[in-house]
Amino acid sequence: MATLVAPNETSPVEEAETLHKAFKGWGTDEKTVIAILGHRNVHQRQSIRKAYEELYQEDLIKRLESELSGDFERALYRWMLEPVDRDAVMANVAIKNGSKSYHVIVEIACVLSPEELLAVRRAYHNRNKRSLEEDIATNTNSGDIRQLLVGLVSSFRYGGDEINARLAKTEADILHESIKEKKGNHEEAIRILTTRSKTQLLATFNRYRDDHGTSITKKLLDHASDDFEKALHTAIRCINDHKKYYEKVLRNAMKRVGTDEDAITRAVVSRAEKDMKDIKELYYKRNSVHLEDAVAKEISGDYKKLILTLLGKHH
């Protein structure tokens, strides 16, 4: 379930006019901006953007970028983009960031449905005049990490629910062997994780736990040291249970000295319209504190207001 609170009936033209007024004069009326855009679903936001363009011959997103700044601007910019476009932007930023952002690429490749991932690849073409896999391949060193990342984003997994139990056993063993040997050959592990359907992979992960007495993610966590093993760990977690994964993204973002605002933005903006309510519940169960309260302590200003709005907090 989503946390976004949006009314059923809205008036895009009036809202575009209200936003235009909010930009007028010295400073911007951020409260109004949040009150409107923080409470509109993806279709409503696109309608407002379209109405704004028609009324003022100006792209609302560009205007927001010039009016706002910092974490608030970055969050609102991502929020205003259509999801496939947003993921294309986040993937592109992650590629430029290098190995410290590989997890963002893995997230997009493994959390989205096969058809959604294709749509992101199409959006990436339109924005960058290159393919997503092309940019990843050019910007990674050859070897396992490139093969894994390119394989994950290029995959078009079968989406059906069929399970081959015998295969799950064989491939759980292959994954076990591949993880055990630190300098082993990872080609087969990459093949399995980049080509099998998600349902089949879940069966394989379950079989791994049954046969080897520990979950594959725990086993990998004990091991994960290089970029490849970390990316493998992220891929398995995103495929296995992306809500638990995002709970931990948020937890880690606030655990460190120096909050990781980008991670908070990414998780909240990506999931507010999808399943943030479930992620919030997981967060509360795990931490005995409400996500909104934890976030409220870590961030501030208009950025805080926007994030809490997207998290469904009543003001």
Residues lying near a copy of itself in the complex (CB under 8 A): 118, 121-122, 125, 129-134, 137-138, 142-143, 146-147, 150-151, 154-160, 162, 185, 187-188, 191, 194-197
Q: Which residue in 208, 196, 198 sits closest to 170, CA to CA?
A: 208
23 annotated as ligand-binding: yes
Tell whether 27 is in a known binding site. Answer: yes
Nearer Cβ to a copy of itself, position 76 or 136? Answer: 136
- Residue 86 or 186: the one with the smaller Cβ distance to a copy of itself is 186
We find the least distance from the C-beta atom of residue 48 to a copy of itself, in angstroms, to be: 30
Residue 213 known to bind ligand:
no
CA-CA distance, 149 to 161, in Å (whole number)?
25
How far apart CA 161 and CA 199 sit, in angstroms, is 6
The residue whose two tokens read 């990414």 is 266
Tokens describing residue 35: 């009150």
Nearer to a copy of itself, 50 or 125 (CB): 125
CB under 8 Å to 205, separation ≥6 — which residues?
172, 215, 216, 217, 236, 239, 240
> In terms of CB distance, is 170 or 300 closer to a copy of itself?
170
Nearest residue to 177 (alpha-carbon basis) of 234, 216, 235, 210: 216
The CB-of-211 to a copy of itself minimum distance in angstroms stands at 21
Rounded CA separation 242/237 (Å): 7
269 and 226 in contact (C-beta within 8 Å)?
no
Q: Taking the complex as a whole, how short is the minimal distance between the CB of residue 157 and a copy of itself, in angstroms?
A: 6
By beta-carbon proximity to a copy of itself, the closer residue of 70 and 159 is 159
Q: Is 298 assigned to a binding site? A: yes
State the minimum distance, in angstroms, from the CB of residue 28 to a copy of itself: 37
Residue list, annotated binding site for Ca(2+): 23, 25, 27, 67, 256, 258, 296, 298
